[in-house]
Amino acid sequence: MRLDNLVVVAPDAGSVKKARMWATRLKAPTAIADKRRPDHSEVAEIVDLMGSVEGRTTLIVDDFVISGCTLADCARVLIDHGATAVYAAVSHGLMAGNARETLDESPIRRLFMTDSVETQPGKLPDKVEVVSVAGLFGEAIRRIAQRESISVLFN
Structural domains in the chain, CATH included, are: 6-154 (3.40.50.2020)
Give 152's Cβ-side CA count (13 Å radius). 5
Q: Give the residue among 47, 120, 118, 59 at the shortest CA–CA distance from 90.
A: 59
Residue pair 38/46 in contact by the 8 Å Cβ criterion: no
| 17 catalytic residue (yes or no) | no
Q: How far apart are CA 49 and CA 82, in angstroms?
A: 12
Which residue among the candidates 17, 18, 27, 35 is catalytic per the annotation? 35
Q: What is the pTM of this model?
A: 0.89
Per-residue pLDDT of 63-88, as tens digits, reads 999 989 999 999 999 999 999 999 99
Beta partners for 88? 60, 111
Per-residue pLDDT of 93-145, as tens digits, reads 988 889 999 999 999 999 999 999 876 667 888 999 999 999 999 999 999 99
Q: Count CB neighbours of 123 within 10 A.
A: 8
